[in-house]
């Protein structure tokens, strides 16, 4: 099944639109977080908002998809010439042989929140111009991306909270292996909305400060928004230096609705499964991009799992202090950050982390540094114990 080539990739976060903007911000160890000023939200917390989303205009014939989430989808697809590279793949394989696999946690739920303010005062009916299928439905972003890109292959949306857009890589790889498609647009998009901001706050999971992953004083996450995309194709003919998907591992804690297994059992199982899928051992990994949400429970559980599987040898850190936690888009965005690290030969830093939790025995990289990297592992863990780890590498 593996390897597969990431023949194109892009990301848009609060650090900027496209690879170069994010590369420069990560190299400068700059955070894109700011005090929350989103919509009508009155919470003492920090967010990672993408500039310019509301100014995006969808094509007129796709107006039924109009919502903040799909504007962010379009903004992401336009970065780095990604949509043009998908068009060229379509010319190689045919529109019906290129699939779409996207992850999200809330899709365009903001559009429903706004529609509720305009309900009929007598009947309570939602406004006539509200299109649930085009905006709020979890499949809306995959449907929009499929039409925007002119694709006719199978399309799928995965919504498993914060593991969503990592799991799409596994889903797409299975379909390529089965021969139902020849290439796949994989990725994830999640945008800010009142539900996630108030929801995570009600669970006491948001910090009043910029998040501090793996810091002993960490007290919660900073919600972000963003988009990450990659084009997956078979590896035949991949040029040296190409970024490859080497393996994906998935597991379920079956432990708790919102809390991770305290010893990180499911997380360790996902990492072990990814290594097995790639035909690698722990010593083959050069960098781990941690899920690292900066909640006390997540970092403790993941830290124990990483220490048990990899010991202190492998440099690791979380980049959520730079981008915020982009929830269902996090897996796709952090896969691209790993791809950038492999190409650039540079570990990213961990903005926000002031010191490492002494209870976690890890080789945690607070600051970026140049390093020869051949393989990187990215962790994404979601509510309900939905875990996914993926391994990317550089073609020799």
Reading the block at residue 193, the tokens are 């909305």
Q: What is the model's pLDDT at position 34?
A: 98
Q: What percent of the chain has pLDDT over 70?
A: 100
Q: Which amino acids are annotated catalytic? A: 162, 291, 325
DSSP 254: -
Reading phi first (left if > 0) and then psi (alpha if -120 to 50, else beta), residue 302 is in: alpha
Q: List CB contacts of 51: < 8 A, sequence separation 6 or more.
A: 14
CATH class of the 4-395 domain in this structure: alpha beta
Instruction: Give the separation between CA 75 and CA 53, rounded to whole angstroms.
Output: 7
263 Cα distance to chain centroid: 24
Cβ neighbours, 10 Å, residue 180: 13
Mean pLDDT of the chain: 97
| First-last CA distance in the chain | 19
User: Mean pLDDT across the stretch 235-254?
Assistant: 95
- Rounded percentage of the chain residues whose pLDDT exceeds 90: 96
Say whether pLDDT at 1 is over 80. Answer: no
> Which tens digit of pLDDT belongs to each residue from 126-177?
999 999 999 999 999 999 999 999 999 999 999 999 999 999 999 999 999 9
The two tokens of residue 326 are 């982009």
H or E, element range at 381: strand 375-382
Cα separation, 112 vs 382, in Å, equals: 24
pLDDT for position 291: 98
| Structure confidence at residue 257 as a pLDDT band (50, 70, 90) | confident
Q: Domain segments of the chain: what residues?
A: 4-395
Res 256: pLDDT: 84
Q: Three-state DSSP class for 396?
A: coil
Whether pTM exceeds 0.75: yes
Average pLDDT over residues 97-125: 97
Could you tell me the two tokens for 363? Answer: 């080789």
Instruction: Report how far residue 230's alpha carbon sits from residue 8's, in angstroms, rounded to the nearest whole number.
Output: 6
Q: Quote the pLDDT of residue 261.
A: 87
Cα gap 335→341, rounded to integer Å: 10
Q: What is the average pLDDT across 358-382?
A: 97
Q: Can you tell me the mean pLDDT for 68-90?
A: 98
Q: How far is CA 349 from CA 11, 32, 227, 289, 335, in A?
A: 18, 13, 20, 10, 15
């Amino acid at each position: 099944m593996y390897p597969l080539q990431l023949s194109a990739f892009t990301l848009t976060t609060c650090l900027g639109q496209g690879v170069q903007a994010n590369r420069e911000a990560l190299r400068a160890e700059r955070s894109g977080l700011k005090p929350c000023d989103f919509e009508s939200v009155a919470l003492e917390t920090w967010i990672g908002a993408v500039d310019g989303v509301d100014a995006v205009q969808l094509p007129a014939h796709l107006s039924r998809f109009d919502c903040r989430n799909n504007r962010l989808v379009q903004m992401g697809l336009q970065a780095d010439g990604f949509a043009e590279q998908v068009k060229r793949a379509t010319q190689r394989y045919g529109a019906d042989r290129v699939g779409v696999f996207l992850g999200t946690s809330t899709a365009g739920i903001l559009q429903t929140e706004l529609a509720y303010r305009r309900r009929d005062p007598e009947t309570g009916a939602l406004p006539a111009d509200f299109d649930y299928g085009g905006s709020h439905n979890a499949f809306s972003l995959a449907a929009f991306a499929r039409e925007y890109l002119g694709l006719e292959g199978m399309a799928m949306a995965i919504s498993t909270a914060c593991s969503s857009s990592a799991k799409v890589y596994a889903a797409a790889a299975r379909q390529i292996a089965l021969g139902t498609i020849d290439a796949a647009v994989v990725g994830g998009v999640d945008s800010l909305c009142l539900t996630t901001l108030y929801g995570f706050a009600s669970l006491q999971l948001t910090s009043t400060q910029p998040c501090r992953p793996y810091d002993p004083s960490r007290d919660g996450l900073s919600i972000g928004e963003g988009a990450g995309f990659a084009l997956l194709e078979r590896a035949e003919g991949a040029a040296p230096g190409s970024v490859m998907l080497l393996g994906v591992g998935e597991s379920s804690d079956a432990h708790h609705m919102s809390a991770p297994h305290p010893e990180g059992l499911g997380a360790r199982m996902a990492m072990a499964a990814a290594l097995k899928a790639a035909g690698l051992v722990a010593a083959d990994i050069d960098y781990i991009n941690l899920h690292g949400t900066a909640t006390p429970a997540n970092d403790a559980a993941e830290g124990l799992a990483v220490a048990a599987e990899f010991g202190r040898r492998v440099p690791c850190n979380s980049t959520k202090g730079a981008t915020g936690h982009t929830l269902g888009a996090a897996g796709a965005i952090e896969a691209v950050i790993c791809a950038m690290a492999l190409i650039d030969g540079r570990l990213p830093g961990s903005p926000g982390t002031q010191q490492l939790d002494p209870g976690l025995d890890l080789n945690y990289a607070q600051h970026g540094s140049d390093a020869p990297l051949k393989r990187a592992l990215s962790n994404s863990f979601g509510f309900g114990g939905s875990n996914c780890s993926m391994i990317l590498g550089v073609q020799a």
